[in-house]
Amino acid sequence: MQIYVKNQKIFKVKYVFLSKKSTFALSFRDITNNMAEVKIFSGTSSNYLASRVADYYGKDLGGVSINRFADSEISVSFDESVRGCDVFIVQSTFPPSDNIMELLMLIDAARRASAHYVCAVIPYFGYARQDRKDKPRVGIAAKLIANMLTAAGADRVMTMDLHAGQIQGFFDIPVDHLEGISVFVPYLKAQNLQNIKFASPDVGGVSRCRKFASYFDADIVICDKHRKKANEIASMQLIGDVEGADVILVDDLIDTGGTICKAAELILAKGAKSVRAFCTHPVLSGKANENISNSVLTELVVTDSIPLRQINEKIKVLSVAELFGKAIGRIRDNGSISTLFINNQQILGL
């Protein structure tokens, strides 16, 4: 038996049994991982989703107290012991910025309360659109958020449909990047559309659109847009033929709805039979609901990674609670997250 100790923590204990035919090695970390109790908590903004995630996992949502001083300063605490537990904290980081601060403080509180493991479950990763320097003298907010999560003490991050997949490289800890397509594809298949084509609302989303189309063996078209400034489109052109097709617009998020609605008008004007939009994160700021209601879209399908601010008859919400609940189970059991991706589900028959 070998024991390595640093800062009063046992890093590794290994038992080795040798025989003529077999070698058996068991890591102490594996033993403690299997022994640790899983506890799931939520920040203020994602309580509606976290409770369902916990339910799918088979646990009650843990209790936390989030209070504010008179000057709006946040104070957080856990209402139960997390010592030695695997802690999963669910919180999407959409505005206001208090949501990010709550998540950071909950991670820090769990670490200081001697949690065995802390995973930040972030269905919607805010500030992901600021992932590069696209003009002089700007910050890279996505990298800053990644640094802050790591500094707060997160051991792992679980998220879904980042604006750019490369953001995973901003972290020096494991990142599980789930896909909204896992809930979108079954829903779309149930619609039994005959002549289906997929459209990307901009050139940057072509890869996401092509992946979606591959499950239906369908063609894609591209809306090439030019912006003068953020949230304002100067011009848009359609690349591809949509005559007589039921077109599906695919994007990672919908903000004001300007791009999606303008793309839908352009596609319908080019002879499409119908236009639907599938966007994972319903940011829906400004006049988004009004824009969608007045648009030519047959429907807008989103997930519950962000709660809807108001009901809209054109918006269909699909829950990702089961997807995240299963992912937590895979992490807890040291299983494969890739089995949750729809392409692998088809291959494995899950």
- Residues with Cβ within 8 Å of residue 243, at least 6 apart in sequence: 270, 271, 272
Q: Do 42 and 165 have their domain in common?
A: yes
Report the pLDDT averaged over residues 6-10.
Answer: 43
Using CA atoms, how far apart are residues 63 and 41, in angstroms rounded to an integer?
7
87-116, pLDDT tens digit by residue? 999 999 999 999 999 999 999 999 999 999
User: Which residues carry out catalysis?
Assistant: 225
Here the CATH number for the domain that contains residue 220 is: 3.40.50.2020
Averaged over 71-79, what is the pLDDT? 96
What is the per-residue pLDDT for 2?
Answer: 47
The pLDDT of residue 1 = 46
pTM: 0.86
Q: Is the domain of 211 the same as that of 275?
A: yes
Residue 170 sits in the same domain as residue 121? yes
What is the tally of structural domains in the chain? 3
311 and 270 in one domain?
yes
Query: Tokens 């596609």 belong to which residue?
Result: 267
Instruction: Tell whether 103 is covered by a domain.
Output: yes
CA angle 342, 348, 349 (to 5 degrees): 85
Q: Return the sign of the alpha-carbon dihedral for residues 318, 324, 330, 334.
A: positive
- Residues 210 and 135 reside in one and the same domain: no
The answer on 302 and 209 residing in a single domain is yes
Asked if 199 and 222 sit in the same domain, the reply is yes
Mean pLDDT of the chain: 88
Q: Parallel, antiparallel, or unpaired for β 2-6 and 9-18?
A: antiparallel
Torsion of CA 318, 323, 325, 329, to 10 degrees: 170
- In this structure, the answer to whether residues 206 and 314 fall within a common structural domain is yes
The pair of structure tokens assigned to 19 is 């025989």
Q: What would the 3-class secondary structure string for 54-82 be?
A: HHHHCCCCCCEEEEECCCCCEEEEECCCC
Residue 345 lies in a domain: no
Are residues 234 and 228 in contact, defined by beta-carbon separation less than 8 angstroms?
yes
Among 179, 204, 236, the domain-final residue is 179
Concatenated DSSP letters for 158-173? EEE--SSGGGGGG-SS
User: What was the pLDDT predicted at 235?
Assistant: 74
For residues 40 and 144, state if they share a domain: yes
Position 277 in a domain: yes
Identify residue 101 by its one-letter amino acid code: M
Q: Is 338 domain-assigned?
A: no
Q: What is the 3-state secondary structure (H, E, C) of 209-229?
A: HHHHHHCCCCCEEEEEEEEEE
Q: Write out the DSSP string of 170-182.
A: G-SS-EEEE-THH
My answer on whether 12 and 69 are in the same domain is no
In this structure, the dihedral spanned by the alpha carbons of residues 161, 309, 202 and 258, taken in order and rounded to 10 degrees, is: -170
Asked if residue 272 and residue 208 are part of one domain, the reply reads: yes
Domain that holds residue 25: 2-32
On whether residue 64 sits in a domain, the answer given is: yes
Residue 192 half-sphere exposure toward CB, CA atoms < 13 A: 0
For residues 280 and 252, the answer to whether their CB atoms sit within 8 Å is: yes
Report yes or no on 137 lying in a domain. yes
- Convert the pLDDT of each residue in 157-215 to its tens digit: 999 999 999 999 999 999 999 999 999 999 999 999 989 999 999 888 899 999 999 99
Same domain (yes/no): 190, 311: yes
Instruction: Confirm whether 343 is domain-assigned.
Output: no
Q: Is residue 340 part of a domain?
A: no
Of 125, 158, 179, the position where a domain reaches its end is: 179
Least confident piece of the model among 19-23, 45-49, 187-191, 286-290: 19-23
